Amino acid sequence: MIRTKILPLGIIFTALTVVPAAAQVTQTKLATLGRGEVIVAQESVLLSGVGPGCASENFFIVTQTTASGTSRFYVYDKAGRKGPFDKISESMLRTGAGFEPKPAYYDEEPSVEGFEETDPRGSFSFRGKKYGPFQQIQSFQASGDRSRFYALVAKAGKLRFISSDGRDVPAGGMPEAIKTSPDGTKAVAICRGSLTLIEGVQVDMSKIDPSSFDEVSLYTIDGAKIGPFPKAQDFGEVWFAAGSQSWLFNLGSGVYLNGSLLRKFPERIDKATFWIDDATHYAWVEAEELCFSDGARYPGPVMLRHEKIAGKTTLCWISVQNNGDVVAFRRNL
């Protein structure tokens, strides 16, 4: 039987778990593994947002045991444990819509959908409206819903960052990418170096510092410039948080939120395991622990999902306790 309970404030799950008094965590026991069983995470699934226990009705766990070179498999779901099986067939797995975990970041695909070059003088149309002429069109990105575009173009010998809604701000360097927010209203351009090469514009290379070629500068569509960051500072990448208009980037082991330092970490954080609502509510995976900005730390999750409702993120994950219990946890950032 699956048992769900709300943990008292300040409880300790295991010797490795610390929960501040302000944190409320929901815990659900899903199953108890047999001796020698280990979870095959890539074949297991966990649905978030169902019931107070997060996974009380929607989980499917595959486990494996190995003895004398022979593997056996078991499956667990709300009906209990089944097996052993010699193998797990495709028909036994849970796949399809709703079973794939959502990324922690906005997974944007480069797109020029809606863009059409209208003449060789640097004009183009987007959704039937003409833009230009420009000296050059150096980079173009349509928003996720394809309702807007952002572009880096050359005008009057200068690089400009423009949008289809009329925003037009200065930029510089060589364009590398344009990142847009999930709702398409914000964008950040990543440019490298201080040199902007534009057709027909002469550049005195003797006045360019060679060390600046690897510098990275960021430009927002609202006119802010962040950087440049020399190569030695170890710039990482730019991304928008899932379901959010907040953008982030790595610099060394630090994470920056909307251009300002959020926090320094012991090591570089992976955007795939970093969830954030605002500057005081976020979580990340570090050294096989799930960590929260309020100081809570939990043993590393075997599987983890998140959901975002009205701007608030809830994490749902499972861990295997020392006694073999498979426990689902659920808490807000």
Task: Output the pLDDT for position 200.
Answer: 52
Amino acid present at 161: F
User: From CA 186, how far away is CA 184, in angstroms rounded?
Assistant: 6
pLDDT of residue 9: 29
CA torsion angle 99 102 108 114 (round to 10): 50
Identify the pLDDT of residue 248: 98
- 215-245 per-position pLDDT tens digit: 999 999 999 999 999 988 999 999 999 888 9
pLDDT of residue 276: 96
For the chain, list residues with pLDDT below 50.
Answer: 1-16, 49-53, 55-56
The answer to whether the CB of 267 falls within 8 A of the CB of 261 is no
Place of tokens 């230009």: 132
Shortest CA distance to 226 belongs to which of 178, 258, 268, 194? 258
Both tokens assigned to 332 = 């807000």
Query: For position 196, what pLDDT does the model report?
Result: 81
Nearest to 178 by CA among 162, 195, 157: 162
The conformation of residue 118, written as its DSSP 8-state character, comes to E
pLDDT at 125: 94
What is the distance between the alpha carbons of residues 50 and 95, in angstroms, rounded to a whole number? 17
The answer to whether 43 and 22 are in contact (CB under 8 A) is: no
Helix H or strand E encompassing 176? strand 174-180
